[in-house]
Amino acid sequence: MTISASSIEIYDTTLRDGSQAEDVSFSVEDKVRIAQRLDELGVHYIEGGWPGANPKDIEFFRILKSLPLKRARIVAFGSTRKAKNTAESDPTLEALLSAETEIVTIFGKSWTLHVTEALETTLEKNVELVGDSIAFLKNHGRRVFYDAEHFFDGYKTDPAYALKTLQAAVAAGAERIILCDTNGGTMPWEVQEIFPKVKACCSVPLGIHAHNDSEMGVANSLVAVRAGAIQVQGTINGIGERCGNANLCSIMANLELKMGYEALEDGRLNNLRNISHFVAEMANLTPNKRQPYVGDTAFAHKGGVHIHAVQEKSR
């Protein structure tokens, strides 16, 4: 797949991050059907699940091997190795390999607080974990994308350290570095300020993975694209844990209609409403009729001044 300068890589994580939403549960069959519809829609990457954490996801990757997709690349997701294991003896990395996908995305820590308190390891050791987990996957023939978890909080606390973790990922062979606003608390002007600084010291293309806790998921994703991101991660209808992920329906529409980028090939944007309703149905959620671009009332006019003006214009 070639991505031209004016196209943005769409990385869908409905099946992984989206399925973390507290009222959403997809069966393996649901996941396969959603993957096929996302492929028809024309997204570039589909994050299928976390084989190290969820046995259902192992089954999903197995089924997908016999049902090749036409356009999208299927991606397995997981974490860097545990501090106590070597890469070779780490069950999470082993499970990632067993998904047998061309591409894997692993996440690691760039926030000093999380390294010392959640991983209970040293800052130097964490940099090592990032580098040698990626190197291990590369040595096993995988293409690797690196999700820098809580990146913006990490950068605000200690920019030099946050960048050091990214440089370790680049040196080990990551093809994309994705800056994650994992708790959704970053404001668009902060993304605008931080993104170019990262871009200046990262030799591989960047992506954005935003959550919606401050209702800035879409805004932060679009600002990141303006600041140089070539990949946007999100979910259909913005489903995801807490307040959800960045909503890919609005992102793809805005990229194409407001910003002049190509998100989906060959005018496939026309299928947004279908995929939005399909995923809502699979998730047992009522479609939001007020959802921008895809909701039933998104383009409805109730009459009055606006409808009068439209009628006048069409005469």
CA 140/CA 134 separation, integer angstroms: 10
Tally of CB atoms within 10 A around 214: 17
Phi, psi of 156 (to 5 degrees): -65, -30
Nearer of residues 119 and 135 to Zn ion, judged by Cβ: 119
CA 37/CA 136 separation, integer angstroms: 32
Task: Please state the closest distance from residue 266 (CB atom) to Zn ion, in A.
Answer: 29
Site string for Zn ion, 267-286 (x = CB under 5 A): --------------------
Nearer of residues 81 and 209 to Zn ion, judged by Cβ: 209
Task: Please state the closest distance from residue 28 (CB atom) to Zn ion, in A.
Answer: 21
Interaxial angle between packed helices 188-200 and 159-172, expressed in degrees from 0 to 180 and rounded to the nearest 10: 50
Q: With contacts defined by CB under 5 A, name the span among 9-17, 161-169, 264-272, 276-284 that binds Zn ion.
A: 9-17
Q: With contacts defined by CB under 5 A, name the span among 17-25, 44-52, 111-119, 254-262 that binds Zn ion.
A: 17-25
Residue 38 and residue 5 in contact, taking contact as beta carbons nearer than 8 Å: no
Task: Please state the closest distance from residue 243 (CB atom) to Zn ion, in A.
Answer: 12
Please give the angle made by the CA atoms of 15, 21 and 24, to the nearest 5 degrees.
75
Please give the angle made by the CA atoms of 229, 14 and 113, to the nearest 5 degrees.
60
Nearer of residues 11 and 136 to Zn ion, judged by Cβ: 11
Q: With contacts defined by CB under 5 A, name the span among 14-22, 154-162, 268-276, 288-296 that binds Zn ion.
A: 14-22
Q: With contacts defined by CB under 5 A, name the span among 16-24, 49-57, 127-135, 259-267 that binds Zn ion.
A: 16-24
Nearer of residues 17 and 132 to Zn ion, judged by Cβ: 17
CA-nearest of 105, 54, 109, 103 to 83 is: 109
Task: Please state the closest distance from residue 245 (CB atom) to Zn ion, in A.
Answer: 6
Rounded to the nearest angstrom, the gap between the alpha carbon of residue 82 and the centroid of all alpha carbons in its chain is: 23
DSSP code at position 104: E
Q: With contacts defined by CB under 5 A, name the span among 10-18, 21-29, 42-50, 152-160 that binds Zn ion.
A: 10-18
Nearer of residues 17 and 153 to Zn ion, judged by Cβ: 17
CA-nearest of 217, 182, 178 to 198 is: 178
Binding residue count for Zn ion, defined by CB under 5 A: 1
Task: Please state the closest distance from residue 185 (CB atom) to Zn ion, in A.
Answer: 13
What are the residues whose beta carbons fall under 8 Å from the beta carbon of 271, sequence distance 6 or more? 40, 41, 264
Site string for Zn ion, 178-207 (x = CB under 5 A): ------------------------------
Nearer of residues 103 and 135 to Zn ion, judged by Cβ: 103
What are the residues whose beta carbons fall under 8 Å from the beta carbon of 154, sequence distance 6 or more? 109, 110, 111, 112, 114, 148, 161, 162, 165
17 contacts Zn ion (rule: CB under 5 A): yes
Task: Please state the closest distance from residue 306 (CB atom) to Zn ion, in A.
Answer: 38
Task: Please state the closest distance from residue 219 (CB atom) to Zn ion, in A.
Answer: 17
Q: Which of residues 41-100 bind Zn ion (CB under 5 A)?
A: none
Q: With contacts defined by CB under 5 A, name the span among 13-21, 40-48, 161-169, 252-260 that binds Zn ion.
A: 13-21
DSSP code at position 118: I
Nearer of residues 40 and 213 to Zn ion, judged by Cβ: 213
Region class of 215: left (phi > 0), else alpha (psi between -120 and 50), else beta: left
The tokens describing 162, both together, are 């946050």
The tokens describing 196, both together, are 């170019």
Residues that bind Zn ion (CB under 5 A): 17
